[in-house]
Structure 1
Amino acid sequence: MATSSAATSSIDMSTTILIRVDQSGRGGFKKIQDAIDSVPSNNSKLYFIWVKPGTYREKIVVPADKPFITISGTKASNTIITWSDGGEIFQSATFTVMASDFVGRFLTIENTYGSAGKAVALRVSANRAAFYGCRILSYQDTLLDDTGNHYYSSCYIEGATDFICGNAASLFERCHIHSLSTGNGAITAQKRVSSEENTGFTFLGCKITGVGKAVLGRPWGPYSRVVYALTYMSGLVLPQGWNDWHDYAKHTNVYYGEYKCYGPGADRSNRVAWSLSLSENEAATFLTKDTIGGRAWLRPAPSNFKRGASATIAARTDENN
Structure 2
Amino acid sequence: MKCLLFFFLITVLSTSLHAPVATGAASIGKTIVVNPSGTGDFRSIQEAIDSVPDFNNQWVKIHLASGVYREKVVIGASKTYILLEGEGAQKTSIEWGDYAKDSAGHDTASCATFTSYASNIVVAGITFKNTYDGYNHMTQAVAALISGDKSSVYSCSFIGYQDTLADLFGRHYFKGCYIQGVTDFIFGFGQSIYEGCTISTANSVERPGFVTAQGRGAANDTSGFVFKWCNVTGPQSTYLGRAWGRFSRVIFYKTFMSDIIIPEGWSIWNSHGYENEITYAESECTGPGSNQSGRVKWKKALTNDELRTFTDISYIDNEGWLSKQPQY
TM-score (norm: length of structure 1): 0.91
Secondary structure of 1:252's partner? coil
Unmatched 5+ residue regions in structure 1?
304-321
Residues 181 and 275 (structure 1), Cα distance of their counterparts in 2 relative to 1, 3 Å cut:
farther
Q: Distance in 2 between matches of 1:42 and 1:277?
A: 44
Q: CA RMSD in A?
A: 1.5
Distance in 2 separating the partners of 1:82 and 1:119:
12
Say if 1:161 and 1:181, in contact at 8 Å, map to a contact too. no
Matches within 5 A, 1:186-225: 186-225=210-249
1:302 deviates by 6.6
Amino acid at match of 1:81: I
Return the alpha-carbon distance in structure 1 between the equivalents of residues 190 and 270 of structure 2.
23
Distance 1:29 1:96, change over 3 A: same
- Does 2:125 align with 1:112? no
1:59-84 residue CA offsets vs partner (Å, 9 max, x unmatched): 00001111000110111101010000
Task: In structure 1, give the amino acid aligned to 2:124.
Answer: R
Cα distance in 2 for partners of 1:101, 1:77 equals: 25
Does 2:63 align with 1:41? no
- Residue 195 (structure 2) aligns with: 173
Letter in 2 for 1:173: E
Consecutive unaligned residues in structure 2, runs of 5 or more: 1-11, 101-106
Contact residue 122 and residue 325 of structure 2 kept, 8 A? no
One-letter amino acid matched to 1:149: R
After the TM superposition, which residues 103-252 of structure 1 pair with which residues of structure 2 at under 5 Å, given as runs? Answer: 103-115=122-134, 116=137, 117-180=139-202, 182=204, 183-252=207-276
Q: Which residue of 1 aligns with 2:89?
A: 76
The SS at the match of 1:16 is strand
Relative CO higher for 1 or 2, CA cutoff 8 Å, sep ≥ 6?
A: 1
Q: Which residue of the partner structure matches residue 9 of structure 2?
A: none
Deviations 1:131-181 (A, max 9, x none): 000000111000011100000000000000000000010000000000126
> In the TM superposition, what is the alpha-carbon distance from 1:12 to its structure 2 partner?
3.4
Asked if the contact 1:289–1:295 (Cα under 8 Å) also holds between the matched residues in 2, the reply is no
The residue type paired with residue 114 of structure 1 is D
Could you list the structure 1 runs, at least 4 aligned residues long, displaced by more than 4 angstroms after superposition: none
How far residue 248 of structure 1 moved from its aligned partner, in angstroms, is: 2.0
Match of 2:74 in 1: 61
Match of 1:92 in 2: 111
**SS of 2:273 mapped into structure 1:** helix
1:271 partner SS: coil
Q: Which residue does the alignment assign to 2:103? A: none
Q: 1:5 aligns with which of 9, 19, 29?
A: 19
C-alpha contact 1:5 1:43 (8 A) present in aligned 2: no
Q: In structure 2, how many angstroms separate the alpha carbons of the residues matched to 1:202 and 1:274?
A: 18
**Between 287-296 and 116-125, the greater mean CA deviation after superposition:** 287-296
User: What SS does the aligned partner of 2:314 have?
Assistant: helix
Alpha-carbon distance, 1:247 to partner: 3.6
* Amino acid corresponding to residue 238 of structure 2 in structure 1: A
Matched residue type, 1:70: L
Q: CA deviation at 1:23?
A: 1.1
Residue 270 of structure 1, CA deviation: 0.7
Note if contact 1:210-1:236 (Cα within 8 Å) is conserved in structure 2: yes
In the TM superposition, residue 15 of structure 1 has moved relative to its aligned partner by 3.1
Q: 1:259·1:279 contact (CA, 8 Å) conserved in 2?
A: no
**CA distance in structure 2 between the partners assigned to 1:235 and 1:186 by the alignment:** 14
Whole-Å Cα distance in 1 between the matches of residues 43 and 87 of structure 2? 16
Using the TM superposition, give the Cα deviation of residue 294 of structure 1 relative to its aligned residue in structure 2, in angstroms. 5.9
Q: Structure 2 counterpart of 1:251, which letter?
A: E
1:302 & 1:291 partners in 2: Cα distance? 19
1:50 aligned residue: 63
State TM-score, norm by structure 2. Answer: 0.89
CA shift, 1:5, in A, is 3.0
Give distance in 1, aligned partners of 2:40 and 2:184: 38
Cα separation, 2, equivalents of 1:293 and 1:197: 16
1:16/1:302 contact within 8 Å kept: no
- 22 and 261 in structure 1: CA distance in 2 versus 1, 3 angstrom threshold: same
